[in-house]
A and B are shown apart, each in its own frame.
Chain A
Amino acid sequence: MSENETLLKLEGITKRFPGVTANEKIDLELETGEIRCLLGENGAGKSTLMNIIYGLLQPDEGKILVKGKEVKFHSPRDAINHGIGMVHQHFMLIPTFNPVENVVIGKGGTRKIMPDIRGAEKKFVDLAKKYDMNLNPKTKIWQMSVGEQQRVEILKALYHGAEILILDEPTSVLTPKETEHLFKILRALKEEGCSIIFITHKLWEATTISDKITVLKQGKVIDTVETKSTDAKSLSWMLVGRKEIQKIEKKGGIEGERILEVDNVWARDDKGLDALKGISLEMNRGEILGLAGVAGNGQRELAEAISGLRPVTKGKIKLKGKEITRCNPRRIQKMGAAYIPEDRIHCGAGQNLTIKENLILKKYYREPFSRKGFLQFPKISNHCANLIDDYNVVCRGAETLGKQLSGGNLQKTILARELDAEPDFIIAEQPASGLDIGAGEFVQNQLIKSRNRGAGVLLISANLDEILLISDRVAVIFEGRIMGVMEADQVDIGIIGEWMLGSDGGKKNAEKETESLEEEKVQ
């Protein structure tokens, strides 16, 4: 290893965006045949750095050297020409094309009038065989599974002669089996002399696949370490920057009445496929139920089904003992349910609405905010001023537009709206994602406050740490099914991890197990 030459070198890369420095004086050296993990939380600057290497962004300062020569990338085409390939988090493939068509124009074209589709297809199929990837070159991308699409992305990069492959959070959309397959491919590529930069915020991935790990935090490199000579503990210390995550005071569990019953619920996703396949859950007042799971396993669909935004095809949902399966969202809100959606930009708050409008989004029709169809602005203004104070929203007044707020303040606005009415039941979907630590803690504190006054909180998060931090019970969702439920103080991380990966501890029927687990709970 020591004799390997340096393939890619970054020197003092700095990139500023309005208001933030996304990358600050970043140095990085990548050797031939090395798998490097770039570890960091959301917003640490990983993606920005990779976009710079791939020519999508240009650095404000600093140098990029490929094989010792300084290069300047004006577009991805330059990067591709220097042997750099990228697999984006959201795949950059034309959905209506087949893989070969994607590959053919994948480097900005061949400068021929008619591309040699047949030749490209042969080369593509050969390449796929070489790395043991089973792909039909004639299937359109939109008809492929996520894992297949990712393989096409990798092949596209290889086809164009990539020696350095950048993968941006490649596992966040994969099932464990697909992840395994991906790791196999990556190791094979390493054997061929390919260098890989692997971006992730998951510790175990970093330690499993990489040779070296570089930890990024708030745009700066904290350290680069050999994977062999480190462990999860010291990595997480670097990542979080303090020894232990602060535990928030919780009152003893309130043994409240049943607040939510989800009974064998089925629902479809936007593509019309079954996303929920018989979910059953029960929750009481005064508890936080953490729903863990890899993103995209039906979490959003479940949240939407409960809040009335998504039709339930089968099964029953009861809130406070009353069936709400076919109720409209407003009915369910009126019954005391609140929903903090993951998608703050399109769903949680209006970008072109003022804070005031965002705050009365769900109660504009109620007295005293409106009377006989007319909005009562003095009352609304008062109410909003109070909420802005109470929830510490930093803004230039109640007329500030949603798009002018930072992520944290937008989320505080949403919290203020959702929690102000003291709802009995709260769904919080990834409530702290994308926020800085302070704002994230504020959000978590608010959820605990609600729990302490007797509300039931369903916390949906892909971040296991967050779930373990504040939940009373932990459930795991996988491919639209609940794999199991556990008391938080008896949590066995090993089992939770297995559930998240879809293995159910020997039992074949996940549904049955869920039921039996639920029965145990009741007893």
Chain B
Amino acid sequence: MSNSLQEKVLKQFFIPLAWLGISILGAFLAGAVLILLVGVNPIEAYASLIKGAFGSKYAISETLVKATPILLTGLAVAFAYRAKLVNLGVEGQLYIGAAAAAWLGLFSFGQLPGFIVVLLVSLGVFLAGGLYALIPGFLKAKLNVSEIMTGLMLNFVAMLYVSYLVEGPLRLPRSVIPRSPNIEEVAQLARILGGNFRFHSYFLVGVGLAILIFIIFYRTTLGFQLKIVGEGERLARFAGINVPVIQIVAMVVSGGIAALAGYGEVGGVHRYLLAEISPGFGYYGLVVAFLARMNPLGIIVSSLFFSVLLGGAETMQRTVGVPVFLINIIQGLVLFFVVGLESYRRKLEKRKLL
């Protein structure tokens, strides 16, 4: 038995990890070529990148701050994908979550203790995002409308809604860049390393959620049902599973998790709502989820990896003059390496079957 266990660990853990390592290495090499073309020593550039991400307590805090929304949106993507639904609408759900956090955070909560307020706001934010994701979920489950397209469209709607909020009803009077007032202090998320560091409690919430979702996926009947629905609608119906309900649950939970990322930004990072609350965290979430092959624990790792890139990029630009956009290029290339190698792996697998 131990033999098969070893084989299982090797197959499910180390081999995918090795493949991923190769992809990342390849992307960095390609990035190095670009850096060389710019006329900079790649080693120097990457060193400054690492230094930018880890060089000081503040740098580490900022890196983790960037990891938080990517981790949450990544988990959101993975949850929906368990039922083979591509939630491309995580970005929009994040915006809705941010908007809900701003609305709720501006309430007066009287004498309620902080953690209860945070819990209540989290719940409200989760519900708001869930309801927003209910639109693509319902349309997919009941009318078989592509959740990819509706999700994408709703991203734009959500962004426009937030832009309306900060320019209209929630605008802080006389703010230059339109923004909302700061949310009530009790509704703000705790800054764990102290007020000077933006690292906040939602990173830990994200890690906790990753573990929770891991357990849901592999240990519960809900996870089993999600997987069966993902395996095919006919099979799931045959197994007696109510497919539309499971699909809607998958999308709603996914949307709720994505919305929490919005609360993290409003409640933990900025303290207020602004029109560009996310530079595309939702799309990064899609990428990290894919990199981790939808494994919730893997997403912790891949989102940290991405945040290191984002966190160190500005330092790299400042010190050696390589534009921050190198990071997007590396991200895009990693993905291409991953999908390319995946196809190569499929080919190998097929040959092994011979």
Contacts and interface: CB of A to CB of B under 8 A. Distances in A.
Q: Touching in the complex, A and B, CB below 8 A?
A: yes
7 contacts: A18-B353, A341-B238, A346-B232, A353-B227, A357-B228, A361-B228, A374-B220
Contacts of A352: 231
Interface residues of A, number: 29
Nearest to A365: B221
Interface stretch (A95-103, A328-336, A431-439): A328-336
Say which size band chain B's interface belongs to: 20 to 34
Interface string B1-31: 0001000100000000000000000000000
A294 B233 CA distance: 27
A350 B231 contact: yes
A236 interface: no
A373 B238 contact: no
B237 A329 contact: yes
A397 interface: yes
B238 A347 contact: yes
A207 interface: no
Interface of A: 18, 309, 328-330, 333, 339, 341, 343, 346-353, 357, 361-362, 364-365, 370, 373-375, 397, 399, 404
A355 to B, nearest CB: 14
Q: Which 3 pairs show the lowest CB-CB distances between chains A and B?
A: A330-B240, A350-B231, A18-B354
A364 B241 CA distance: 11
A357 B224 contact: yes
Interface of A is mostly: loop
B236 to A, nearest CB: 9
B240 A399 contact: no
A364 B235 CA distance: 14
Contacts of A329: 237-238, 240
A152 to B, nearest CB: 29
A373 B220 contact: yes
Contacts of A350: 228, 231-232, 235
A350 B221 CA distance: 17
A373 B222 CA distance: 7
Given A18-B354, A328-B240, A350-B228, A375 B221 contact: yes
Contact of A347 (B221, B234, B242): B234
A140 B32 CA distance: 55
Given A330-B240, A349-B235, A397-B4, 17 more contacts: A329-B238, A330-B241, A339-B238, A341-B238, A343-B234, A346-B235, A347-B235, A350-B228, A350-B231, A352-B231, A357-B224, A361-B239, A362-B240, A374-B220, A375-B219, A375-B220, A375-B221
Given A341-B238, A399-B8, A373 B221 contact: yes
Contact of B237 (A309, A343, A351, A374): A309
Contacts of A364: 221, 224-225
Contacts of A349: 235
A280 to B, nearest CB: 25
Contacts of B240: 328-330, 333, 362
A304 to B, nearest CB: 9
A246 to B, nearest CB: 32
A373 B221 CA distance: 5
